[in-house]
Amino acid sequence: MTSSTPHISVIGGGISGLAACHRLLELSREKKSPVQITLFESSWRLGGAIQSTQREEGILELGPDAVFMEKPWAWDLSQRIGLEKEWIGTNPDLRLSFIARKGNLYPLPVGFYLLAPSQFWPLLTTSLFSWKGKWRILREIFVPAKKESGDEGFGSFVRRRFGDELWERVAQPLISAIYSGDAQNLSLEATFPKFLQWEKECGSVIRGLQKQKRSQSQAPTQGPRYSLFSSFSTGLQRIVEKLTEKIPSDSILMGTTVQEIAKTSDPKKLKLVGPHFEMETDAVCLALPATQSAQILRSFSPNLSSGLKKIEYNSVLTVNLLFKTEDVRRPLNGFGFVIPESEKKWIHGCTFSSVKFLQHGQKGKVILRAFLGGKNYEKSKTLNDKKLAELALKDLKELLGITAPPLVSVVCRHPNSLPYYKVGHLEIVKRIEEDLKSVPAIALAGNGFRGIGVPDCIHSGEEAAERIFRYLKV
């Protein structure tokens, strides 16, 4: 390295920051332009919310447990780092999900896509809805499209098109399970814009869903399409480990917090300020929750900081419980269940981890992964892990007929980890992106902007790396 070699700092060692570092190194090789990178991680582990624990009895996922494969970025990255052959799919024989209602678990009707049916017979024969509710759902094809354009909350949209029953029994618990918070005012435009598109172009969500199914059946498949959700035999931590191997170890500073970005006498340089250090750098990728990036940028770019503060975050808590198979009376003939808010349970849902991914369990053992967020997470702050596991077990006993204490229980808290895309979220993001134009040496990455899943985070990190390379013109 020479003194003219650009130095790039990546702040945040979650999947977005790791993807950014890897893409920077890729671009450096592709363009034959040397760069020096430094990855700052305030904790003593990499991966952020992704955290897999390997035990003799199986794999416990303490954060997310799967990757949504319809979005291509995780698959594309895995090909470039040599992981494409290590993906595993979900259990092909038991791809059912359930809805909890009055102490029972009802299968989500076959062909249901989050809030709309694509097949009529499973809807007509399910006992999840009343006949009045079924008729209201089917009438969606006659509901006129909203005349006003623009964003809408999930609750308003679903009730307007499908009625209260579908919202309360299916859409609300499914959406809350994904975004860990109030589903009512979640931005439809920022989360599932295709529903708005189907209403506008097809006059009906059901018609739009059927049109998509026809086109997908004719399209060639790419990537590991044997499973809509995928993982690795040792858990999602595998992609973190592989990315870490690709980054020079002396480029990673663990347990190092960056508190502020400041200007220097050289307009082409930035200064990173921490509790016990200062460092000059040429460009920065902030791969952090938007609220943390806002704090770091408060003096360097007040406008950008102000916009980032408007993005809200929810917290998530997972409780992994391990049982002997004979201690769980209800057949685990699916991937898990979600619980409507009206049921007033402590947990919001549960994944049957050892069923969803057969490679994650051991014969004779059952791994359950309960989760909660939103208001219940706020209530949990004063409770210790033992009490939280007891509360989760109480709900699971009622729904799954558990007859013995767990062999193992592991609680993991993820405070302020999931952004809440409220109505108007994309307008906030557009203003942030506009303000970024005035600070070209700064790039933003993470789940706070245009998607919360692992593929979205990878994509945001790689886009941030490419922005930095364009700015440096190396």
Tens digit of each residue's pLDDT (9 = 90 or more) over 38-70: 999 999 999 999 999 998 889 999 999 999 999
**pLDDT band at 225; cut points 50, 70, 90:** very low
CA distance linking residue 54 with residue 172, whole number of Å? 33
pLDDT at 191: 95
Q: Mean pLDDT throughout 197-210?
A: 93
Query: Tokens 């860990």 label which residue?
Result: 180
DSSP class of residue 168 equals I
Length of the chain: 474
Helix (H, G, I), strand (E, B) or coil at 164: helix
Q: Mean pLDDT throughout 300-310?
A: 97
pLDDT at 83: 97
For the chain, report the end-to-end CA distance as a whole number of angstroms.
14
Average confidence score pLDDT of the chain: 94
Beta bridge partners of 419: 313
Is pLDDT of 215 > 90?
A: no
Query: Tokens 């993005």 label which residue?
Result: 311
Is pLDDT of 226 > 80?
A: no
pLDDT at 1: 41
Task: Return the biggest CA–CA distance within the chain.
Answer: 74
pLDDT digits (tens, 9 = 90+) for 318-356: 999 999 999 999 999 999 999 999 999 999 999 999 999
Specify whether the CB–CB gap between 115 and 136 falls below 8 A. no
CA distance linking residue 212 with residue 218, whole number of Å? 10
pLDDT at 141: 95
Q: Mean pLDDT throughout 224-243?
A: 87
pTM of the model: 0.95
Q: Which residues contact 29 (CB under 8 A, 6 or more apart)?
A: none
